[in-house]
Amino acid sequence: MLSQIDRQIIRSWYNHLVAPRLAPFYSKGPRLTGPSIAVIGNCQAFGVGYAMKLLDPTARVSHFSAIGTPLADMKLLAKTLATYDYVFSHEFLPGQVRGGGSAELCALLDKVILFPAITFAAFHPDLVYLLDATRGHAPTIGPVGPYHSALAVFAFRRGLSVDEAHALFNRNVYEALGYFDVWNDAVTELVEASKSKFDMDLSPEIANWSRRGAFMYSLVHPKPFVLFDLARKLFARVGLPTPAVNIDYYAIDDLGRAEIFPIYPPIGEWFGVQGSYTFKLENYHLSSEVGEFITLPYYLSECYKVYRRCTPAQLTHPRIEAWLADPAAVGRIITLAGENLRKGLLPA
């Protein structure tokens, strides 16, 4: 089966070799007189490419999704990308394209400009990925896809009941675990990684994003205006114009179709944004189905069903292992679960 990259390679060669010859006789849309731009990367790459197209409607912008394994190899991908005026890429590991990752792509094509993927944990400090080392670090899939609650996994691993797990979702537990103290580290990590690896200072942008409230749907899924600002910085880097555009008016919220992890109410209150315990499931077929949302009690009950079918290797994460290895932390968390349960503190 052809992957998105395979289909885009075919489309790119058609646009490069065939479409110009047919343009005098047949054209489905406006003639594109601006630069040709390729954006390759993870789930954020579409939003960056869309923003670039909005910044220059005359540009030909192609999105290559480095998710999944294409039939095409790295040499063919590099040869295809060489036909573009500008190539922007996330870092990606070998194996997502046969013959290498982003490092090999850069070695084959010197015009590639690497740019950061936006990751930010402060709004979702409880969200973790469970990567199974016995299956090539493939993610363990739960009721909300790859998104898991560290508290839910800890509770299951320690043998707590679902009700006891439910009782952990309260302010006193978050305070004990430092969930309100993540902001500065999250900002520092994003700023320093962007500067050191990509020579890009995101400090002003992060300040502006935070003024708009919650700017992430999860650790790795930002809202459209975040990706628009990233596209603007990339345009400025290569000397392309960056006109004033109202991104909110034209935004397509592609990542809003994926899973959305809630901002827990006490954490939302801490940051001055609306919080909830409503989990959104992925839905890429909005034309036919409005999608599904699940409550915290249902989420926890489904997590336990999944975890009972898992091996220990599928339920590991460094943070959870650190809690489990610390008797004081275990005792503190379990004590708070019992106290909250006796008080009936089970948020909906």
- Of 155, 158, 64, the C-alpha closest to 109 is 64
According to CATH, the topology of domain 4-115+223-252 is: Rossmann fold (3.40.50)
Task: Say how many C-beta atoms besides its own lie within 10 A of residue 133's C-beta.
Answer: 10
Residues contacting residue 214 through CB under 8 Å, at least 6 positions apart: 123, 223, 263, 268, 271, 273
The whole-model pTM stands at 0.91
**pLDDT at residue number 33:** 87
**pLDDT at residue number 312:** 87
**pLDDT at residue number 17:** 75
Residues contacting residue 93 through CB under 8 Å, at least 6 positions apart: 101, 102
Q: Domain coordinates of the chain in residue numbers?
A: 4-115+223-252, 127-182+258-342
Per residue in 167-202, pLDDT tens? 999 999 999 999 999 999 999 999 999 999 999 999
Residue located via tokens 């489309």: 11
Q: Kindly write down the DSSP assignment for every residue of 175-209, as one continuous string.
A: HHTTGGG-HHHHHHHHHHHHHHHH----HHHHHHH
- Contact between 291 and 281 under an 8 Å Cβ cutoff? The reply is yes
Which H helix or E strand runs over 139? strand 138-139
- Contact between 238 and 113 under an 8 Å Cβ cutoff? The reply is yes
One digit per residue, pLDDT tens: the chain, 348 residues?
Answer: 778 878 888 888 878 777 777 666 666 666 788 999 999 999 999 999 999 999 999 999 999 988 777 778 889 999 999 999 999 999 998 877 888 899 999 999 999 999 999 999 999 999 999 998 888 778 999 999 999 999 999 999 999 999 999 999 999 999 999 999 999 999 999 999 999 999 999 999 999 999 999 999 999 999 999 999 999 999 999 999 999 999 999 999 999 999 999 999 999 999 999 999 999 999 887 777 889 999 999 999 999 999 999 998 899 999 999 999 999 999 999 999 999 999 999 998
Long-range contacts of 13-18 (CB under 8 A, 24+ apart): 13/80, 13/83, 15/60, 15/62, 16/83
